[in-house]
């Protein structure tokens, strides 16, 4: 008999934790997973999945408009938020069931409750203690909201998925992924939407052309963008809220959404007392192969606050389990991670921005094109597409691809394979396009830095 109840105890049933638990159990290890709320974590319950369902819902408005140009007469359309949320909830419950079943089939013991790490090898859940040879912390993150007078009146992305009713007007604070995605969703659903951002552009860290183009497109769709400002205070009124900005501007609204980043879930369950090292933002510090400073304790995903994306957490879980139990040490490669923003129009991007490329290389060629996608020749919609390619002249290597437009995430996912394989511009040029598509523009870009209409 071993001295441990489990070979591995995973805390957190989100994307990274579930993958690690399933894999380890599949390799014959005795595994437990503790989750205090809902299996699937942020992505399944209050993130990627429900967000994408709301994105679909928000696109019908434009589609109904577009249909006219193609000869359709669409009857009067109405939208029912409660029905969308009920259907979304049903789908999320189904997905939770799939996750639970998979864990059960793998032989993972799922323990419901809030876990506490008592020492390097012991976890307590709801009064019961479990000894494990190794512990993985995969507890994710939660919305961060700065302290402002009236903070109690705001909502975060967590609550947005369960609103009792759709507001008529909303102010969204922040200029990152969640702010622009929710702005597009709500605007598409007919909500009078304002973004209030402390910076001078949306989506810090993205290519400047993408940032400028998105702002133009969002404005053109009727979203108000307020830059270089912030909320100073929020007051509840008989109906709605009075909002005062730092520059003295006063506004009224029905809802204020804060999308001002996320905080790692690393406190309150024993890590501090045990001396697990955290960084200044509260993220668990990990060394080689996701090991913390306590050798039997590992951490992965958003709680380590590195690249906070579901597929990255999953890749980290797989890499760790392969290393620990399958003698296959293969690290996650954090270069060229493709990413998407599901705003309207969507963004897909992989590799270096123009600014990053210029920092790394002295000889950069930029290829750009912006055009009206074919559907909009008849749809009457004004939405345009932007594509940008960044090439190192001396090696001919394509080091960055960026797109704003319909299906950009789908297109860039495929392109990311080429970028990771080290494709040169010559390879792109010799690839035959699929006609007529927007994606074919990436293999027909011939002139350096020309922005065509
Ligand atoms: P982001 O880090 O993307 O953006 C946070 C925004 O809030 C920034 O614009 C930031 O401004 C602003 N901000 C931060 N602190 C304050 C403050 N105190 N007062 C006012 N503004 C502030 O975070 P999100 O919350 O949008 O998303 C969290 C993470 O979730 C993302 O980084 C991403 O990793 C992940 N995510 C991924 C998605 C996807 O893959 N499609 C979708 C949604 C989320 P500034 O730029 O000046 O710092």
Name the pairing type of β-strands 192-196 and 224-226. Answer: parallel
Task: Quote the ligand 1 centre to 178 CA distance (angstroms).
Answer: 6
Q: Show which of 210, 237, 260 is a domain's final residue.
A: 260
In a domain, 449, yes or no: no
Task: Quote the ligand 1 centre to 154 CA distance (angstroms).
Answer: 16
Give the CATH number of the domain where residue 29 resides.
3.50.50.60
Residue nearest to atom 46 of ligand 1 (CA): 204
What the block records as the tokens of 66 is 């577009």
Q: What is the mean pLDDT of the chain?
A: 97
- The number of domains in the chain is 3
- Reduced to 3 DSSP states, what percent helix, strand and coil does the chain have, rounded to the nearest 5? 35, 25, 40
pLDDT digits (tens, 9 = 90+) for 251-262: 999 999 999 999
Mutate to test the pocket of ligand 1, among 16, 150, 174 (most ligand atoms within 8 A of CB): 174
Residues with CB under 6 A from ligand 1: 146, 173-179, 181, 197-199, 204, 230, 259-262, 308-309, 339-342
Task: Quote the ligand 1 centre to 330 CA distance (angstroms).
Answer: 30
Asked if 290 and 297 count as a contact pair (C-beta separation under 8 A), the reply is: no
pLDDT of residue 329: 84
pLDDT at 1 over 90: no
Task: Quote the ligand 1 centre to 438 CA distance (angstroms).
Answer: 29
In a domain, 1, yes or no: no
The ligand 1 atom at the shortest distance from the C-alpha of residue 309 is 34
Answer yes or no: do 11 and 120 share one domain. Answer: yes
Task: Quote the ligand 1 centre to 296 CA distance (angstroms).
Answer: 32
Q: What secondary structure does DSSP assign to 193-234, as a single string? A: EEEE-SSSSSSTTS-HHHHHHHHHHHHHTT-EEE-S--EEEE
Q: What is the dihedral of CA 221, 226, 227, 228, to 10 degrees?
A: 180
CA distance 211 to 205: 9
pLDDT of residue 441: 97
pLDDT digits (tens, 9 = 90+) for 77-99: 999 999 999 999 999 999 999 99
pLDDT digits (tens, 9 = 90+) for 23-71: 999 999 999 999 999 999 999 999 999 999 999 999 999 999 999 999 9
CA distance 250 to 271: 43
What the block records as the tokens of 224 is 């108000």
Cα torsion angle, 405, 410, 416, 418, sign? negative
Answer yes or no: do 298 and 345 share one domain. Answer: no
Question: Which of the four pLDDT bands, split at 50, 70 and 90, describes residue 450?
Answer: low
Give the CATH number of the domain where residue 412 resides.
3.30.390.30
Q: What is the mean predicted confidence (pLDDT) over 279-294?
A: 96
Asked if 403 and 384 count as a contact pair (C-beta separation under 8 A), the reply is: no
In a domain, 333, yes or no: no
Instruction: Write down the pTM of the prediction.
Output: 0.97
In the chain, the percentage of residues whose pLDDT exceeds 90 is: 97
pLDDT of residue 360: 97
Radius of gyration of the chain (CA): 24
- Between CA 347 and CA 57, with CA 212 as vertex, the angle to 5 degrees is 40
Q: What is the mean predicted confidence (pLDDT) over 114-128?
A: 98
pLDDT of residue 140: 98
Residue nearest to atom 7 of ligand 1 (CA): 260
What the block records as the tokens of 139 is 């507890």
Q: Which residues pair with 234 in a beta bridge?
A: 243
In the chain, the percentage of residues whose pLDDT exceeds 70 is: 99
Mutate to test the pocket of ligand 1, among 208, 261, 408 (most ligand atoms within 8 A of CB): 261
CA distance 407 to 411: 6
CA distance 86 to 89: 5
Q: Which residues pair with 340 in a beta bridge?
A: 348
Segment 411-419 long-range contacts (CB within 8 Å, at least 24 positions apart): 411/348, 411/438, 411/439, 411/442, 412/338, 412/340, 412/348, 412/349, 412/350, 413/338, 413/340, 413/348, 414/439, 415/338, 415/348, 415/350, 415/442, 416/336, 416/338, 416/350, 419/336, 419/350, 419/351
Range of the domain at 436: 339-443
Q: What DSSP designation does 341 have?
A: E
Question: Which of the four pLDDT bands, split at 50, 70 and 90, describes residue 328?
Answer: confident
Q: How far apart are the first and last CA of the chain?
A: 72
In a domain, 334, yes or no: no
pLDDT at 453 over 50: no
Answer yes or no: do 90 and 194 share one domain. Answer: no
Answer yes or no: do 239 and 386 share one domain. Answer: no
pLDDT at 452 over 60: no
Answer yes or no: do 20 and 134 share one domain. Answer: yes
What the block records as the tokens of 374 is 């074919």
In a domain, 33, yes or no: yes
Instruction: Give phi and psi for 238, each to the nearest 5.
Output: -55, -40
The ligand 1 atom at the shortest distance from the C-alpha of residue 340 is 41
pLDDT of residue 86: 98
Mutate to test the pocket of ligand 1, among 198, 202, 311, 316 (most ligand atoms within 8 A of CB): 198
Answer yes or no: do 182 and 267 share one domain. Answer: no
> Known catalytic residue: 435?
yes
pLDDT digits (tens, 9 = 90+) for 374-419: 999 999 999 999 999 999 999 999 999 999 999 999 999 999 999 9
């Amino acid at each position: 008999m071993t001295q441990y109840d489990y070979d591995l105890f995973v805390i957190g049933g989100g994307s990274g934790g579930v993958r690690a638990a399933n894999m380890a159990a599949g390799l014959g290890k005795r595994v437990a997973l503790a989750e205090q709320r809902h299996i699937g974590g942020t992505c399944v319950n209050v993130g990627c999945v429900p967000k994408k369902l709301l994105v679909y819902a928000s696109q019908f408005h434009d589609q109904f408009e577009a249909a006219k140009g193609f000869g359709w007469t669409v009857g009067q359309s109405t939208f029912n938020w409660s029905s969308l949320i009920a259907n979304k909830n049903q789908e999320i419950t189904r997905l939770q069931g799939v996750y639970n079943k998979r864990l059960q089939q793998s032989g993972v013991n799922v323990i419901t409750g809030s876990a506490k790490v008592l020492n390097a090898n012991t976890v307590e859940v709801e009064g019961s203690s479990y000894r494990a040879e190794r512990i993985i912390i995969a507890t994710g993150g939660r919305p961060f909201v700065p302290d402002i007078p009236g903070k109690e009146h705001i909502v975060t992305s967590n609550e947005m998925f369960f609103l009792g009713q759709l507001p008529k007007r909303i102010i969204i604070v922040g200029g990152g992924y969640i702010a622009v995605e929710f702005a597009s969703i709500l605007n598409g659903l007919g909500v009078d939407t304002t973004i209030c951002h402390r910076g001078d552009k949306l989506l810090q860290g993205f290519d400047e052309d993408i940032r400028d183009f998105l702002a133009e497109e969002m404005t053109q769709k009727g979203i108000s963008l307020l830059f270089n400002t912030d909320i100073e205070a929020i007051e509840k009124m008989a109906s709605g809220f009075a909002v005062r900005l730092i520059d003295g501007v006063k506004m009224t609204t029905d809802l204020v959404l804060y999308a001002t980043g996320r905080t790692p879930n690393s406190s309150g369950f024993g890590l501090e007392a045990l001396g697990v090292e955290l960084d200044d933002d509260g993220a668990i510090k990990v060394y080689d192969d996701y090991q913390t400073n306590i050798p039997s304790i590992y951490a992965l995903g958003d709680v380590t606050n590195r690249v906070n994306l579901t597929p990255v957490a999953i890749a980290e879980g797989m890499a760790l389990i392969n290393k620990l139990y399958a003698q296959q040490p293969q690290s996650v490669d954090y270069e060229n991670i493709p990413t998407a923003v599901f705003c309207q129009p969507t963004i897909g991007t992989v590799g270096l921005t123009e600014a990053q490329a210029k920092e790394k290389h002295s000889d950069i060629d930029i290829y750009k094109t912006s055009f009206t996608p074919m559907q909009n020749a008849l749809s009457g919609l004004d939405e345009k597409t932007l594509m940008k390619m960044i090439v190192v002249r001396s090696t001919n290597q394509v080091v960055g691809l960026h797109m704003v437009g319909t299906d950009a995430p789908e297109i860039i996912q495929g392109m990311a394979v080429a970028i990771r394989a080290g494709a040169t511009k010559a390879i792109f040029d010799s690839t035959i396009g699929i006609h007529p598509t927007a994606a074919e523009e990436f293999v027909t870009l011939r002139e350096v830095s020309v922005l065509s209409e």
